[in-house]
Amino acid sequence: IRLPFVTDCPSGCAPFISSQFSFIPTASTNPKAALKSKIVAEFRPQSLIDELLLYKRSEDQIELKEKQLSTMRVDVCSTETLKCLKGKA
């Protein structure tokens, strides 16, 4: 690892400073870090927003249909009524 401030110090301290910072993972040495940086670089928030809006609309539609069904009084024994409901859905 080459740290920018290490090159500015006297010649005897550079190896010491580099050894003190050897625990810091870099993308080239750590595959997880490379994957994370790739995910961050390819992240497109608009597609996530579109998916969330689609999900929200779907949830709202389900809630509306549940409310409509709860307000209806239906005779579940009547096959004609069930056919009509099926046709409306």
- Domain membership flag for residue 1: no
Residue 39 has pLDDT above 80, yes or no: yes
Position with higher pLDDT, 88 vs 66: 66
Specify the 3-state DSSP secondary structure of 23: coil
Q: How many domains does the chain have?
A: 1
Residue 14 has pLDDT above 80, yes or no: no
- Domain membership flag for residue 82: yes
In which element (H, E) is residue 40 found?
A: helix 31-42
> What confidence score (pLDDT) does residue 6 get?
45
Whole-angstrom Cα distance, residue 27 to residue 31? 7
- Domain membership flag for residue 27: no
* Portion of the chain with pLDDT greater than 90, in percent: 18
Main-chain dihedrals φ then ψ at residue 68, nearest 5 degrees:
-65, -45
- Domain membership flag for residue 83: yes
